[in-house]
Amino acid sequence: MTERKRSHSRGSARVKRRAQREQNARPVKPYINRRVPVFELASEELLNLIEGNAETVLETIGIEFRDDADALRRFKDAGASIEGERVRFPRGMCRQLIQSSAPREYTQHARNPERSVRIGGDHCVLVPAYGPPFVHDLDRGRRYATLADFENFTRLTYLSPSLHHSGGTLCEPVDIPVNKRHLDMIYSHLRLSDKPFMGSVTEPSRAQDTVDMAKIVFGDDFVDQNCVITSLINANSPLTFDATMLGAARVYAQNNQATVISPFILAGAMSPVTVVGTCTQILAEAMAGICFTQLVRPGAPVIFGTFSSAVSMQSGAPTFGTPEPSMVIFICAALARRLGVPFRSGGGLCASKIPDAQAAYESATTLQSAMLAGVHFMLHTAGWLEGGLAMGYEKFILDADQAGMIEVFLSGVDDSLNGQAMDALAEVGPGNHFLGCAHTQANFETAFYRSTTADNNSYEQWQAEGSLDAAQRANRTWKKMLADYELPPIDEGIDEALREFITQKKAAVPDSNF
C-alpha cells in the first residue's frame, strides 16, 4: 500500500469514528427535565414560621416603593395602606394575589423554537453569569470589558450545550455609552445566538427597546401572547424597590414578559445575620415585588428570585461558598414551591480573583446547593469571578463543564432494560471483566459523563502534553470554540430591521454615561 493510500485509509477511519461519536453523543437538550427529588432542608414548622413572620413584616413594617406614584396607586386600589412611599399589606393580600394569577411555570420562546425553555415545575434552566464590569483571562489578566468581550461570551454560551439560556448582561461593554449599550447587547443575543435571552433593566425606556426588538424578531402578536424575554429585577434591599427597577418591571409585565423579582442580599449588611431572619426578609420583598407584576398584568410570568451571600464580620467583604447562604437557597426554594411560582438562585459564585482552587470549591458549593434545592432558573452558572466583578474566560469553560455534570445528575437514573444491564451480568459472570462484553461495546461512547476540561491521563502523558493545569486547558478550549464558531441563521430582512432600529435609536439621542 502506498503512503498516500495509507494516509487516505487513516483519514477515512477518523471520519467514520467521528461520525460514530456524533451519532452516539449525549443528546443536546434545551433544558433539564428533573428526575430526582429535591432536598428538603426545612421542616413544615420552620416554613410556616418564616411565612408568618414575612406576613408580619409586610403588615407592620411594610415595603418602600420609591418615586413611583403608579405603583403606590395600584397597591392602594388593591387594598394596601399607603404612608408616604411606605406600603403596608393586609395579612395574606400578597399571597392571595400571587396565587390567583401568577403561573406556576411558563415557556420562554427562543428565536430557534428547538431552544425554547420551560421554567418552573420539574425543569431547570442553566444561565451564565450576569453583570460584571471586568473580564479576566490568562493572557491579559483583569481588564474592563468591551463589546468584543460581550460578543465572545454570547458565542461561547451559544456553543455550550449545557447552558440553556443566553443570559443578559454577560459583561458590561464599557466602550459603548451607557445609554446605548443595551441596543448592542440585545442585538448580540438575537444575532449571535438563537437561545432565549434576558432584557435590559437599567431604564424603563431600555426595557421597552428590548421589547420592541423582540417584536421585530417574533412579531407583535406573538410577543403579546407569549414570553420571549426573562429579565432581572432586583429589590434594593432591605425592604425597598426603586423607580428604575419598578419601571422596567412594569414595561415587561405590561407586555406579558417575565421578570425575576430578586432581593439582593448580603447578610449582615442588607439583611439580618441569621438564616431565618434573612429568609423572612427575602420572602417579604419577593412577594411584594411579585404582587406588583400581577397588579400590572394578571398572569404575567414571574420568578421568585434571590441572590444571597454574606459579608465577613471581620472585614465587611462579601463571602461565597459558605454554609449559611446554601441554607437560604434550600429554604427559599421550598418557600417558592409553597407560593406556587418558579424559583431562581444559585450559580457558580466565588470570591476568588482567578480560576483557582478557591474558585472551584466555592462555586461547587453553591452549584450543588442550587441543584439539590430545586432551582428552576440558575443564573450565574458560568463565568463568575471576584464576587461578580469579573467574567472569566477560563472560569466560564470550567463552570460550563460543571453544568454538564449537573444536567446528567438531574436527569436521573436510567432504569430501562439497557440501564439494568442484566445481559452484561449474564454474559460476563463471576471473575471476569466487562470491558469487552456486548453491553459495554454498545454503550461505551455514552456510558459516563466525559469532562471537557479534566485530565485523567497518566502523569507521563500529562507531562508530554505540556503539563497544563485546568485553567490552561480551559484557555485552549475557549479559543478553539471561538475559532470554530459559526453564526446561527437568521432571516436577512429581520436582521436588517434590527440594525435599522438600532441606528435610529442611537442617532436620536447624544451619548451619555448614565
3-state secondary structure 396-410: HHHHHHHHHHHHHHH
Residue 438 pLDDT > 90: yes
pLDDT digits (tens, 9 = 90+) for 458-467: 999 999 999 9
Residue 18 has pLDDT above 70, yes or no: no
Q: What backbone torsions phi and psi does residue 375 show, to the nearest 5 degrees?
A: -65, 135
Is residue 279's pLDDT more than 70? yes
Give a yes or no: residue 469 inside a domain. Answer: yes
Q: Beta strands 117-120 and 105-108: pairing type?
A: antiparallel
Task: Name the one residue in this structure whose C-alpha cell is 469487552.
Answer: 436
Identify the residue with better confidence: 19 or 199: 199
Q: Are 129 and 380 in contact (CB under 8 A)?
A: yes
Say which amino acid occupies 393. Answer: Y
**CA separation for the pair 324, 315 (Å, rounded):** 18
Mean pLDDT confidence for 506-511? 97
403 part of a folded domain? yes
Q: Is residue 14 part of a domain?
A: no
Q: How far apart are CA 214 and CA 218, in angstroms?
A: 6
> pLDDT at position 12, please?
58
**CB contact at 8 A, 62 and 439:** no
pLDDT at 17 over 50: no
In this structure, is residue 440 part of a structural domain? no
Residues in contact with 430: Cβ distance below 8 Å, sequence separation at least 6, in sequence order: none
Q: What is the pTM of this model?
A: 0.94
d(CA 217, CA 224): 13
Q: What is the pLDDT of residue 28?
A: 76
Alpha helices in 255-383 (DSSP H): 275-296, 323-339, 357-373
Q: What are phi and psi of 489, to 5 degrees?
A: -70, 150
The residue whose grid cell reads 400578597 is: 94
Q: Which three cell numbers stand for residue 310?
A: 454574606
269 domain-assigned: yes
Hey, what's the cell of 213? 426588538
Contacts of 514 (CB under 8 A, 6+ apart): 178, 179
Q: What is the DSSP letter of 390?
A: E
Residue-wise pLDDT tens digits, 172-210: 999 999 999 999 999 999 999 999 999 999 999 999 999
Which three three-digit cell numbers place residue 21?
461519536
Q: Which residues contact 209 (CB under 8 A, 6 or more apart)?
A: 182, 183, 186, 200, 505
Question: How many angstroms separate the CA atoms of 332 and 279, rounded?
Answer: 7
Q: Which residues of 145-175 are buried (b: 16+ CB within 10 A; e: fewer)?
A: bbbebbbbbbbbbbbbbbbbbbbbbbbbbbe
Q: Tell me the pLDDT tens digit for each residue of 372-420.
A: 999 999 999 999 999 999 999 999 999 999 999 999 999 999 999 999 9
**pLDDT score of 486 more than 50:** yes
Give yes or no for a contact between 342 and 376, defined as CB atoms under 8 angstroms apart. yes
Instruction: Indicate the range of 98-107, 114-123, 238-247, 310-319 predicted with least confidence.
Output: 310-319
Number of domains making up the chain: 1
String of DSSP letters for 252-275 = HHHTT-EEEEEEEEEETTTB-SSH
Kindly report which listed range (79-88, 313-322, 333-342, 470-479) carries the lowest average pLDDT score: 313-322
Residue 6 has pLDDT above 90, yes or no: no
Domain ranges, residue 366: 32-412+449-514
Q: Is residue 290 part of a domain?
A: yes
Q: Are 338 and 297 in contact (CB under 8 A)?
A: no
Q: What percent of the chain has pLDDT over 90?
A: 94
> By C-alpha distance, which of 198, 126, 132 is closest to 392?
132
Q: Quick one: pLDDT band at residue 23, thresholds 50, 70, 90?
A: very low
Residue 280 belongs to a domain: yes
* Angle ∠(349,355,357) on CA atoms, nearest 5: 85
What value does the mean pLDDT of the chain take?
95
What CATH number is attached to the domain comprising 330? 3.20.20.480
Q: Can you give the C-alpha Rg of the chain in angstroms?
A: 24
In a domain, 425, yes or no: no
Q: Is 466 helix (H, G, I), strand (E, B) or coil?
A: coil
Question: Nearest Cα to 84, choosing from 63, 104, 98?
Answer: 63
Amino acid at 66: R
Beta bridge mates, 258? 230
Banded pLDDT at 332 (limits 50, 70, 90) = very high
What is the percent of the chain with per-residue pLDDT over 70, rounded to a whole number? Answer: 95
Backbone angles phi, psi at 409, to 5 degrees: -60, -50
Amino acid of residue 86:
R
pLDDT recorded at residue 4: 47
Angle of CA points 171, 111, 207, to nearest 5°: 50
Q: What is the pLDDT of residue 22?
A: 45
User: To 10 degrees, what angle do helices 243-254 and 204-218 make?
Assistant: 20
Cβ contact 420:399 at 8 Å: no
pLDDT at site 3 = 44
Residue of 312, 234, 239, 220 whose CA lies nearest to 280: 239
pLDDT at 27 over 80: no
